[in-house]
Amino acid sequence: MMSARTRRRRRSPIERRRALTALSFLAPALTVIAVFVLWPMANALRTSFTDARIIGGGDWIGTANYSRLLSDDRFTNALGNTAVYALVTTPVSVALALGAALLLNRAIPGRGFFRAVLFFPFVASLGIISIAWAFVLDPQVGIVNHWLAQLGLSIGDGVRDPDWAMPAVILVGIWRNTGFFMVMYLAGLQTIPREFQEAAAIDGAGAIRRFRNITWPLLANTTMFVAIIASIFSFQAFDQMYVMTAGGPFFSTETLVMLIFDTGFQDFDMGYASAMSWALVLIIMALSLGQMAYFRRRTVQY
């Protein structure tokens, strides 16, 4: 007891110095985050309880903005669109990425080329390349519709068709992120010791069984990371809607982020836009924590 206390006292100046060193390593980055992320978040929370219309000012109106959300059809519509976009793009892009990574983790001809091509959409500006997509998918002059027509298929009025606009922006979203997730999976696959696969192969396990019993469980941590990033990405989707559809037609591609942007920067209804922002924050946090809890039970150490 006594000796432990003296030892602790003797060590504490060093500990204090190390804590100070740590703080000096952390201070620059954390200051930026505190000033430009945390402080604005707190500000948005305060603003969400006011009727602030333009910059500054605004009277306290309690939870009126939040109750307005619940009865706002445009908000409900945007929430639904966001959910549809996220529920399709997340699993499809993650599955495609995993498939591509498995194919490209083996020695096949053109491996480097294929890897680069699949990652390429991530290198370009989504806002700009969406202009090209809009033209390629255009119902009258687009090349895709021209090809589909020869197969007897049609994409209706394309991004001007309420039924086809959402599939179009979803397609672009999947196209954009698949390569990024593929790279994460390729990195994950590199960390799996080769002996595991070899041992299973010697035991007579086929490719499908090796995937199910070895690769997939050992990739659980990568899948957790990718799934969380993918759903955050899909909740943040903005660029291709802004350029291809501007949220239309008839609000069919208006996501929460687009609605926040419109409400805040076109209608200057800052209080209401802040309430929407906080609603979105709560949704994303609940979702991410849920995903983490789900995957944590499946995490594998090796």
Partner 1 sequence: MTISRPIRTFASVAVLALLSLAFLLPFLWMLSASLRTQGDLLANPQTLWPEHITWDNYREVWQRIPFGRQFLNTVVYAGIITVVSVLLDSMAGYAFARFTFPGRGPLFVVVLVTLMLPIQVTLIPVFQLLNDLGWINTYQGLIVPRVADAFGIFFMRQFFLSLPRDLEDAGRIDGFSEFGIWRRIMMPLAWPAVLTLGLFNLLYNWNDLLWPLIVTTDENMRTLSAGLALFKGQHSAEYGLLMAGAILALLPMVAAFALVQRRFIEGIATTGLK
Q: Does 239 engage in binding with partner 1 (CB under 8 A)?
A: yes
* Chain center to CA of 244: 19
* CA atoms of 157 and 54, how far apart (whole Å): 38
User: Are 148 and 138 contacting, i.e. CB atoms less than 8 angstroms apart?
Assistant: no
Q: Supply the minimum distance, in Å, between the C-beta of residue 301 and partner 1.
A: 10
Q: Which is nearer to partner 1, 98 or 100 (CB)?
A: 100
Among 124, 148, 153, 199, binds partner 1 (CB under 8 A): 124
Q: Which is nearer to partner 1, 2 or 14 (CB)?
A: 14
Question: Count residues contacting partner 1 (CB under 8 A)?
Answer: 94
Q: Does 109 engage in binding with partner 1 (CB under 8 A)?
A: yes
Q: Does 62 engage in binding with partner 1 (CB under 8 A)?
A: no
Q: Supply the minimum distance, in Å, between the C-beta of residue 248 and partner 1.
A: 15
Q: Does 209 engage in binding with partner 1 (CB under 8 A)?
A: no
Q: Which is nearer to partner 1, 2 or 38 (CB)?
A: 38
Q: Which is nearer to partner 1, 52 or 166 (CB)?
A: 52
Among 66, 238, 251, 295, binds partner 1 (CB under 8 A): 238
**What are the counts of helices (DSSP H) followed by strands (DSSP E) for the chain?**
15, 0
Helix 73-104 vs helix 220-236: crossing angle, to nearest 10: 140
* CA atoms of 275 and 48, how far apart (whole Å): 4
User: Which of 18-23's residues contact partners 24+ apart within 8 Å by CB, and which partners?
Assistant: none
Among 78, 97, 98, 104, binds partner 1 (CB under 8 A): 104
CA-based nearest residue to 135, from 167, 158, 164 = 158
Q: Does 155 engage in binding with partner 1 (CB under 8 A)?
A: no
Among 217, 248, 249, 264, binds partner 1 (CB under 8 A): 264
Among 11, 41, 74, 213, binds partner 1 (CB under 8 A): 41
Task: Convert 266-284 to b/e letters by CB count within 10 Å (16 or more is b).
Answer: eeebbbbbbbbbbbbeebb
Q: Does 95 engage in binding with partner 1 (CB under 8 A)?
A: no
Query: Which DSSP state fits 30?
Result: H
CA-based nearest residue to 45, from 261, 281, 257, 267 = 281
Q: Supply the minimum distance, in Å, between the C-beta of residue 96 and partner 1.
A: 8
* CA atoms of 56 and 41, how far apart (whole Å): 15
Q: Does 152 engage in binding with partner 1 (CB under 8 A)?
A: no
Environment class of 172 (CB within 10 Å of its CB; exposed 0-12, middle 13-18, buried 19+): buried
Q: Supply the minimum distance, in Å, between the C-beta of residue 136 and partner 1.
A: 5
Query: Which DSSP state fits 289?
Result: H
Among 66, 242, 251, 295, binds partner 1 (CB under 8 A): 242
Q: Does 69 engage in binding with partner 1 (CB under 8 A)?
A: no
